[in-house]
Amino acid sequence: MTDVVVILLSAIVFTAFLAVGQSVYWAYVARQDREQKELMRRLNLISESMQESLFRERARDSAAAALGKIGAHLQEVIESADSQIQVGALLVQIVGLGIVGFVLGLLLGGGPAGLVLGVVLSSLPYFNLRRLGAQRAQKLIEQLPEALDLVSRSLQAGLGLNEAFRTCAEEMPLPIAQEFGRVFEEVRFGRDYREAFGNLVARNPGLFDLRLFVSSVLLQRETGGNMIEILDSISNTIRGRFLFQAKVKALTSEARASAMILGALPFGVTMVLMVSNPNYLTPLWTTSMGHMILLFVFTWYGLGVFLMYTLSQVEV
């Protein structure tokens, strides 16, 4: 029986390492491909049809349509991260990692450990996409003031609004070039500005500065006004917000460092006790009273971390 367990565990570990290696390899290949396309786009070495394909919207796959709201949410997360993975492939990764984690936990610590490890591993692909989406959104907002300045200068030079978006798509780096290029392409193929800007906001939810820009442009097109002054004002407002955020981050750095030290202190003390006197903490996970104490401690620890995180967030 022991040999069977060892063989099964070895197979699972080998499969996990193989999957991780493949993921790293294809991530590297995808990154190199994106960098090559970006270089060719900036040097105008690709044809117009190939350049349009960089901005074309992703078609919803069958897995997203079959899952309804869950599939739509996963599709939105994938699009916000600008990933090439399909919803079906993402579900395969989630289920596969969940099974691997459950089996490893079952072999190492029993049913509860397998359940916890399976849930943790299965959630990694989803939260990784959320992390990539947050990084892309932050980069987009950081590039927005410069893009607005370029649009303003293009308008001063006599270009139309859509041609100004095309200039941004050709001259600016990704991801702002991709988003402005999609707006240019949609308008060029007959969509109304309101619909094209609505799609821009839908692809990048939660970005207040982008919504402010879209609302200002649509209002100006309906009521009139100086578009150049509006764009310059929005650009200066965004830059001022970035400056204020940097000041807030500098002023709260000591409090955030203290919170990190206090949050890590219980785990550090626990590790020291386990090394110096392993039997001292044994009753915590071998008796029912110890389980209740652990539940109480982790509940209040999580509440304290949540409160510290909430108090350290300053809305700008």
Measured CA to CA, the distance from residue 91 to residue 93 in angstroms comes to 5
**pLDDT of res. 49:** 41
Averaged pLDDT, 43-58: 44
- pLDDT of 37 strictly over 70: no
> Tell me, what DSSP letter sits at residue 252?
T
Query: What distances in angstroms separate CA 21 from CA 18, 25, 105, one per listed residue?
Result: 5, 6, 22
Q: Which amino acid is at 115?
A: L
135-250: CATH class: mainly alpha
- Greater confidence (106 vs 238) lies with 238
Averaged pLDDT, 3-10: 63
Measured CA to CA, the distance from residue 98 to residue 239 in angstroms comes to 43
Averaged pLDDT, 265-277: 82
Averaged pLDDT, 257-277: 81
Contact 216, 230 (CB under 8 A): yes
Per-residue pLDDT band for 45 (boundaries 50, 70, 90) equals very low
162-183 pLDDT, tens digit per residue, is: 888 888 888 888 888 888 888 8
Return residue ranges of the chain for CATH 1.20.81. Answer: 135-250
**pLDDT of res. 52:** 45
**pLDDT of res. 30:** 62
Integer-rounded Cα radius of gyration of the chain:
26
12-36 pLDDT, tens digit per residue, is: 666 666 666 666 666 666 666 666 6
**Token pair of 290 as six digits:** 């110890």
Averaged pLDDT, 123-137: 85
